[in-house]
Chains A and B, each alone.
Chain A
Amino acid sequence: MNKSIQLPITAEVASKLHAGDYVYLNGVMYVARDAAHKRMIESLEREEGLPIDIENATIYYMGPSPAREGKPIGSAGPTTASRMDKYAPTLLDLGQKAMIGKGKRTKEVLDAIVRNKAVYFAAIGGAGALLSKCIKESEVVCYDDLGAEAIRKLRVEDFPVIVVADCEGNNLYETAVKEFRTIS
């Protein structure tokens, strides 16, 4: 089923999504990779709070290529989500509602998705040019010194993603692969 969703996403909207749904995202999302996640968690440990508004936030795991003149961003496809597994449950418990990346997640992350009525979307890996066209604005919010790994705020239009893990505990990576597997 194809749906269009406005960001930031609420628990109510997230809880209606099912693994396998094809969704177009519109609105504001943040971008962070492992280095930025590490800093955010360290800052929480020092009780300094987070540099972004985490309530209902969507975080896109991505490190873009440099923008050409006149463009908001360069190539901008997802990176492997498992590198954020260590940090994601903490942020989900603080109110983050959606993650966008590619690849499998740990049980801890999947449990945190169910617990918080959140969602894990996959964006198409290796489609950085296509996804770049859905990003209308991009600004660095903090950790500028991290270069391609800085935290950014994006405004996206019809950004295509697929629900992989939903709040009922379904995981498309497992179910869809089984359907087509003809070898043990």
Chain B
Amino acid sequence: MGTIRTIQTDELVNVVKEMCIKANHFLAPDMDRAMKDALESERSPLGKQILSQLQDNLRIAGEEMIPICQDTGMAVLFVEIGQDVHFEGMLLEDALNEGVRRGYAEGFLRKSVVSDPLLRVNTKDNTPAIIHYFMVAGDKVKITFAPKGFGSENMSRVFMLKPAEGEEGVKKAILTAVDDAGPNACPPMVIGVGVGGDFEKAAIMAKQALTREVGERSPLPHIAKMEEEMLSKINQLGIGPGGLGGTTTALAVNINTYPTHIAGLPVAINICCHVNRHITEVI
């Protein structure tokens, strides 16, 4: 064990605040590249026109500081905490939420969170965030901020498959989810998939898979192969940019896996739109 490092929670507040603003106005370089490549390869004339307007949209967003999309999302944070870190100041959770609160206020971002799923009263500051904590080795804190719009979130699915359904079953589940999502998920989409674990582990893996760089393949050869095969199949669905037909339906399929139970094969498919926002900072 190393020596304990103290981090002031005020620092976290500022980092999160800046991440909220940046992620909602600038796509990460990997997504930016993928969108430019799609414009080159799309075969539908209308699809091409839409992709070229999405390029204009990104340019305007950055130049004039208008959010890329008006749905600036529910704030999702993946927080990896080195176990040699000690926090001083606020409760960690309060600090992270304070960062979100300030980011959404100062960045002129839309407040899209209701306090109760049935009573539906807007909290007016986009909190609380959804926070996933992971304890890791070291004395650093790594925060990934990935605001999620609900047009695509609403099209996400969890399937509890039987082990006998195997690889074919997983592929079918992915294709079904994407086909059903169609125009609602603002294609071209990015598809995050979690296979294995249990019910909630699969869903969290699927969300985390969305933060992996587009173009980066799974380190597991059989999974990397499935990612490529599924991307090509999805792009044969014909959904296309805006769902108005074309050869670019998805930009990437990222699959994460975890050991599972002898009796199960959970598959979660988290669908994201082309505004796949993710940004990471290490403190």
Chain B residues positioned under 8 Å from A148 (CB to CB) = 110-112
Kindly identify which residue among B54, B65, B124, B151 contacts A80, using a CB–CB cutoff of 8 Å: B151
Smallest CB separation, A57 vs chain B (Å): 21
Distance A53 CA – B260 CA, assembled complex (angstroms): 58
Chain B residues positioned under 8 Å from A103 (CB to CB) = 151, 182-184, 243
Please name the residue on chain A nearest to B25 by beta carbon: A129
Please name the residue on chain B nearest to A66 by beta carbon: B108
Does A176 interact with chain B (Cβ within 8 Å)? yes
**What string of 1s and 0s marks CB contacts (under 8 Å) between A22-35 and chain B?**
10000000000000
Kindly identify which residue among A127, A133, A180 contacts B54, using a CB–CB cutoff of 8 Å: A127
Q: Is the CB of A181 within 8 A of B57?
A: no
Q: Is the CB of B72 within 8 A of A102?
A: no
Chain A residues positioned under 8 Å from B239 (CB to CB) = 177
Known: A147-B111, A162-B244, A177-B237. A125 touches B64 (CB 8 A): no
Does A48 interact with chain B (Cβ within 8 Å)? no
For chains A and B in complex, what number of residue pairs have CB atoms within 8 angstroms? Answer: 163
Kindly identify which residue among B61, B122, B154, B182 contacts A129, using a CB–CB cutoff of 8 Å: B61
**What string of 1s and 0s marks CB contacts (under 8 Å) between A140-184 and chain B?**
000000011000000000001010100000001101111111110
Q: Is the CB of B244 within 8 A of A129?
A: no
Does A62 interact with chain B (Cβ within 8 Å)? yes
Interface of B is mostly: loop
Does A89 interact with chain B (Cβ within 8 Å)? no
Q: Is the CB of B66 within 8 A of A128?
A: yes
Chain B residues positioned under 8 Å from A102 (CB to CB) = 151, 183-184, 186, 242-243
**What string of 1s and 0s marks CB contacts (under 8 Å) between B117-153 and chain A?**
0000010100000000000000000000000010100
Q: Is the CB of B237 within 8 A of A74?
A: no
Please name the residue on chain B nearest to A83 by beta carbon: B154
Known: A124-B242, A173-B182. A180 touches B44 (CB 8 A): yes
Known: A68-B65, A124-B50. A177 touches B240 (CB 8 A): yes
Q: Is the CB of A173 within 8 A of B237?
A: no
Does A86 interact with chain B (Cβ within 8 Å)? no
Does A44 interact with chain B (Cβ within 8 Å)? no
Q: Is the CB of A63 within 8 A of B70?
A: yes
Does A130 interact with chain B (Cβ within 8 Å)? yes
Does B92 interact with chain A (Cβ within 8 Å)? no
Does B71 interact with chain A (Cβ within 8 Å)? yes
Kindly identify which residue among B110, B122, B247, B275 contacts A126, using a CB–CB cutoff of 8 Å: B275
Chain A residues positioned under 8 Å from B236 (CB to CB) = 181-183
Q: Is the CB of A128 within 8 A of B70?
A: yes
Q: Is the CB of A179 within 8 A of B183?
A: no
Smallest CB separation, A108 vs chain B (Å): 17
Distance A52 CA – B58 CA, assembled complex (angstroms): 34
Chain A residues positioned under 8 Å from B66 (CB to CB) = 65, 68, 71, 74-75, 128-129, 132
Q: Is the CB of A173 within 8 A of B72?
A: no
CB-defined A-B contacts under 8 Å, sample of 16: A22-B46, A63-B112, A71-B66, A74-B66, A77-B70, A125-B186, A127-B54, A128-B69, A130-B54, A148-B110, A162-B46, A173-B183, A175-B245, A178-B238, A179-B44, A180-B245
Contacts A77-B70, A104-B182, A176-B46 given; 14 further ones with Cβ under 8 A? A22-B46, A66-B110, A75-B72, A102-B242, A104-B184, A124-B53, A126-B54, A126-B149, A127-B54, A130-B53, A148-B112, A160-B53, A181-B238, A183-B233
